[in-house]
Structure 1
Amino acid sequence: MFSTIGRLVNARLAFRRVFSTGRSAVFQIESRLLDNRVDQQELREMVHRYDPSVPIERAITPPSSWYTSPAMYKLEKDTVFKNNWLAIGRKDQVKRTGQYFTSNVVGEPLVVCRDLQGQLRAFLNVCCHRGMPVAKGEDTVSQFDCSYHGWSYALDGRLLKATKMKGIQNFKAKENGLKPLAVTTWGPLVLVKMTGNSADVENNGLQLEKVETVLKQLDYDPDTEDIVFVKRSTRKITSNWKTVVENFSDGGYHVEVAHKTYTDSYYAGSTVRMADVNEYFTVQMAETNQNNPKAETRIGKISTYIYIYPNFMISRYGPWVETITLFPYGYDSTDFVFDFFLDKSFFQNKPRDEVRNFIDESVAISDKIQDEDDEICEGVHFGLMSSAYDAGRYVPRVEMSQYVFHQRLAKELRGHWSL
C-alpha cells in the first residue's frame, strides 16, 4: 500500500517537474522572441536615424552605432553582402581545369573552381552531411573530398559519393550537392553573388561601363589579358569596413594631411579630384608631381582610384593595376587583400633584377601609404566607440562620395523591412 502511495506521489512530483520545466521552456522561448522583436525595433530605429533624403548641405552622417553595433553588421550581411556582386579572388587562380581557391566572406565559406568542362563555378564550401568544408586553400583537383566522413563532390557540385548509407530513407543524391552561387569575372577579378544566378550580370547591379571607359583611357582594357599578376599582400585592421571605404573615396580630403610626405614627393596634392560619383562606384584622379623624375616612372602622369560598391577597389597608375578587396569579419574587423599587376609590356627588354627591384620598391611605397591609412581607420573606429561622438556633418564640396555611399547603404538596409 505504502509503495503504491509512494509511486503516486513520485508520479505527481514528476508531472510537476515536467510541467514546470515545460512552462519554463515556453517562457524562455517567448522571452527570446520578445527580445528579438525589441532588437529588431531598435535596429530599425538605428537604420532610420539616417535620413538619405536630406540634401548634403543639411545632412547628418549615419550615427556611430552603424559602425559599432554587431546587430548592424548582421543586417549588412543579410542585405549588402547577400544581394550584391562581391570581389573574392583573381581570374588567374582558376585558369586551368580543376583549379580552385577558397574564400570567406562575412562568415560564408566559399569555393570557386574551373570544372572539367572549363566552366567557372562557385559554391558554398560546406559538405551537406555535417557542414565540414570540402576544400582548403587553393589547389588543382579532379573532385572535392570531405575530410570528415569521405563524402565526395564533382567540380560541378554534384554529390558523387556518400559513405555507409545503407538503410537510409528518403535521401536523393541530386538534392545533396554543393550549394551553387552566381559567379562572373571582370578584368582580373572573380566576383560572386549569394543570390540569383550568373546570367544577366548588368541587371543584377554590376554596372561598370563608365569604369571601363576610364580605364581604357588610361591604357588598360579589362577585357584583355594584358596585365600580369606579380604580388599579393594581406593585412587585418581593427576598423569597420565602411570607415575603410569612406577613407579611400573621400576625394583626396585627407591626402595632403595624412600622406604629406608622399604627396609632396609624388603627387601634386591639390590636383586630386573626384571625376565621377554614383551609387555603383566613384572615380578619383590625381596628377603626378612633375618635379620628381622617379614619380612618373612609378605612377605615370596621372593616377586613377576607383571604388566599386560594396567591397572592392581598382587603381591604375603608371604600369600598375592594383586591386583591393575588403573582407569584413565583424563590426570592428576588416581584412584587406592587395593584388598587384603589371603591364606585360613593362617586362620587355628589362633584366629580371631590375623588374624585381622595381616591384619591391613600389610595393614598399604602397605599404607605407596603407600603414598611414590603417592608422586613420583604426583611430576613427576608436573614436566612434566613444561616448563623445554620435554623428557628424558632411563637407559638401569634397564628401559627396561618402554621402552617396550612405544613401545606397540606407536604401538597402531599409529594404530589409519591406521584403
Structure 2
Amino acid sequence: MAIAQVLALSSSTSSFVRTDRPKVRRAAPSRVAAAAAGATVGEPARRLVAAFDPAIPLASAVTPPSEWYTDPEFLRLELDRVFLRGWQAVGHIGQVKNPNDFFSGRLGNVEFVICRDAHGKLHAFHNVCRHHASLLACGSGQKTCFQCPYHGWTYGLDGALLKATRISGIKNFNKNDFGLLPIKVATWGPFVLARFDNFAQDTVDDVVGDEWLGSASDLLSRNGIDTSLPHICRREYIIECNWKVFCDNYLDGGYHVPYAHGALASGLQLQSYETLTYERVSVQRCESAPAEQEDIDRLGTKAIYAFVYPNFMINRYGPWMDTNLAVPLDATRCKVVFDYFLDESLLDDQDFIDQSLKDSEQVQIEDIALCEGVQKGLESPAYGVAIVSIRRLFIDRRL
C-alpha cells in the first residue's frame, strides 16, 4: 500500500494498514484502473514509498516525508494503489432511495453514476458515453434514462444502450456491445459503496460490511452506525490541503482538541479518550461532559469517531450521526463532503437542529484553518519529517 503505516493518532491516513491487511496475490491492473490512475506511475513516487520504513518501532518512528503531501506523482500512485482497489464510500442510500433516483461523482479520473432502476435495483456505471466520451449525468435527481448531451445516445438505468443515433451503414454494429461499463456497487447500513477494480469477486450486501470494515463492523453496528437515520443536510468544503492532511487531523483526535476546539473540548471528558485499531478502521471514543441545563445536549453521553481507510469518517454522538468524505482533487487540494443524519424524534425541533449545525460548523472552520496551515508548512523547505506522538491509549482489536 502507498499510504503511511504508523499506528499513531498523529500519523498518516493508512495508520491501520501495514500489519493488518492480509497479503493477497493481485492480478495486473485492468485497463480501466490503469487509465483511471492517469498513466504509469513513475519511479520518483515509488522511491518516496521505499524511503519510508513502517517497521520502525513506534517510539522511534517518524512521520512520512512531506513530499507524500505535495507531490502530484505520489497522488497518482495513491489513486492507483489505494482508491481504485477495494470498497470506497461514495454516498448514502437517501440519494438513491426511490426508483429512477441517481447521483454522480468523480474519484481521480473515474467519473461514475449510481442509480436505482425502475424495478428498484441499484446500479453503478462509468459515467461516460460509449460513443464520443461525453459525460452523461450531472449532479443528482431522477431520470428514466441517461441521454448523452452530445449526440443523443440513450442508455437505460440498467446500463443497456437503448438508442444510437446516425449509425445506419456502420458494419457489424451490435448495440449490446455498447452498454455502459459497470462498476460494482453495494450498501452497508445507510452508506453506498463502490469498487472500481475489475478483479473483485461478486459480493452481496450482507458480506460487504466484513470486506469494507473487517472486524470493526460488529462494534459499529452495536453503536447505531448501520441504522437508517433520516438525512438532514449536506455541506461541502474545498480545502487547500492534501486529502491526507484532513484525515491526519481527524485521526489526531483528542491531541489537538483542547488547543483548537475550545467549545467542543468543554463538552467532552478528554481523560476518557481511547482509540481502538482494527484492520482497516480506527475508532476513537470519548465520554461527554454533562450538559448545562440551558445548553442543548448535542453530544449525548458518548461520542464515537470511526475512521474507515482510506478517506471516510463516521461520527456518532447523541441523536446525531455525521460522515466526512475526503476526496482528493489534486496534490494540495481536497473536497470534504459532510452528511448529517438525525434521530426521527428530533426532526421537528428546528432550533435544536440549527444550533447543532452551527456548533458543528464552528469545528469545521477551526479544522480548515488548521489543515490549510499544516499544508503550507509541509510545502516549506523548513519541514521534512517529524516525530510521532504516542502518548495515547491504544487498544489493538486486530483479530
Give me the TM-score of the superposition, normalised by structure 2. Answer: 0.83
What is residue 14 of structure 1 aligned with on the other side?
none
Q: Deviations over 1:201-222 (max 9, x none)?
A: 5498413552442452x4x251
What is residue 273 of structure 1 aligned with on the other side?
274
Q: Deviations over 1:174-224 (max 9, x none)?
A: 2211111111111211111101255155498413552442452x4x251x4
The SS at the match of 1:233 is strand
Aligned residue identity for 2:193: L
Q: Deviations over 1:69-114 (max 9, x none)?
A: 0000111111111002111111011111111111112232110000
Instruction: Say which is worse superposed, 292-301 or 77-86, in terms of deviation.
Output: 292-301
- Cα deviation, residue 387, structure 1: 0.7
The SS at the match of 1:88 is strand
What is residue 317 of structure 2 aligned with on the other side?
317
Residue 393 (structure 1) aligned with residue 387 (structure 2): yes
Q: Deviations over 1:291-312 (max 9, x none)?
A: 6345672111111111111121
CA distance in 2, matches of 1:202, 1:113: 19
Aligned residue identity for 1:162: A
CA distance in 1, matches of 2:220, 2:137: 38
Contact persistence 2:273–2:285 (CA under 8 A): yes
- Cα deviation, residue 323, structure 1: 1.1
What is residue 290 of structure 2 aligned with on the other side?
290
CA distance in 2, matches of 1:126, 1:295: 50
- Cα deviation, residue 144, structure 1: 0.8
CA distance in 1, matches of 2:337, 2:373: 21
What is residue 203 of structure 2 aligned with on the other side?
199
Q: Deviations over 1:218-242 (max 9, x none)?
A: 4x251x43x1111111111001111
Contact persistence 1:279–1:309 (CA under 8 A): no
Q: Among 255, 261, 264, which residue is 2:263 paired with? A: 261
CA distance in 1, matches of 2:244, 2:66: 11
- Specify whether residues 73 and 399 from structure 1 end up closer, same or farther in structure 2 by C-alpha distance, changes over 3 A only: farther
- Specify whether residues 184 and 97 from structure 1 end up closer, same or farther in structure 2 by C-alpha distance, changes over 3 A only: same
Aligned residue identity for 2:378: L
Larger Rg: 1
What is residue 375 of structure 1 aligned with on the other side?
369
Aligned residue identity for 1:84: G
- Specify whether residues 344 and 389 from structure 1 end up closer, same or farther in structure 2 by C-alpha distance, changes over 3 A only: same
Q: Deviations over 1:362-394 (max 9, x none)?
A: 011101001111111111111000111111111
CA distance in 1, matches of 2:386, 2:356: 36
- Cα deviation, residue 59, structure 1: 1.7
- Specify whether residues 297 and 261 from structure 1 end up closer, same or farther in structure 2 by C-alpha distance, changes over 3 A only: closer
Contact persistence 2:215–2:278 (CA under 8 A): no
- Cα deviation, residue 273, structure 1: 2.0
What is residue 308 of structure 1 aligned with on the other side?
308
What is residue 32 of structure 1 aligned with on the other side?
none
Contact persistence 1:288–1:296 (CA under 8 A): no
Residue 364 (structure 1) aligned with residue 358 (structure 2): yes
- Cα deviation, residue 359, structure 1: 0.8
- Specify whether residues 282 and 296 from structure 1 end up closer, same or farther in structure 2 by C-alpha distance, changes over 3 A only: farther
CA distance in 1, matches of 2:256, 2:280: 22
The SS at the match of 2:212 is coil
Contact persistence 2:184–2:195 (CA under 8 A): yes
The SS at the match of 2:298 is helix
What is residue 156 of structure 2 aligned with on the other side?
154
Contact persistence 1:124–1:178 (CA under 8 A): yes
Aligned residue identity for 2:381: S
- Specify whether residues 229 and 79 from structure 1 end up closer, same or farther in structure 2 by C-alpha distance, changes over 3 A only: same
Q: Tell me how large the CA RMSD over aligned residues is.
A: 2.4
Residue 343 (structure 1) aligned with residue 343 (structure 2): yes
Q: How does 1:132-143 map to 2 (within 5 A)?
A: 132-143=134-145
Identity value in percent: 37
Q: How does 1:159-198 map to 2 (within 5 A)?
A: 159-195=161-197, 196=200, 198=202
Contact persistence 2:291–2:297 (CA under 8 A): no
CA distance in 2, matches of 1:400, 1:248: 16
CA distance in 2, matches of 1:49, 1:213: 36
CA distance in 1, matches of 2:95, 2:208: 24
The SS at the match of 2:373 is helix
- Specify whether residues 299 and 204 from structure 1 end up closer, same or farther in structure 2 by C-alpha distance, changes over 3 A only: closer
Bigger fraction of residues in helix: 1
- Cα deviation, residue 397, structure 1: 2.8
What is residue 40 of structure 1 aligned with on the other side?
42
What is residue 11 of structure 1 aligned with on the other side?
none
Q: How does 1:50-129 map to 2 (within 5 A)?
A: 50-129=52-131
CA distance in 1, matches of 2:203, 2:218: 20
Unaligned runs of at least 5 residues, structure 1: 1-35, 405-419
What is residue 8 of structure 1 aligned with on the other side?
none
Aligned residue identity for 2:94: D
Contact persistence 1:143–1:153 (CA under 8 A): yes
CA distance in 2, matches of 1:271, 1:58: 26
- Specify whether residues 82 and 285 from structure 1 end up closer, same or farther in structure 2 by C-alpha distance, changes over 3 A only: same
Q: Deviations over 1:130-156 (max 9, x none)?
A: 111111111212111111100011111
Q: How does 1:202-217 map to 2 (within 5 A)?
A: 202=208, 205-216=211-222
Unaligned runs of at least 5 residues, structure 2: 1-38
The SS at the match of 1:271 is strand
What is residue 245 of structure 1 aligned with on the other side?
247
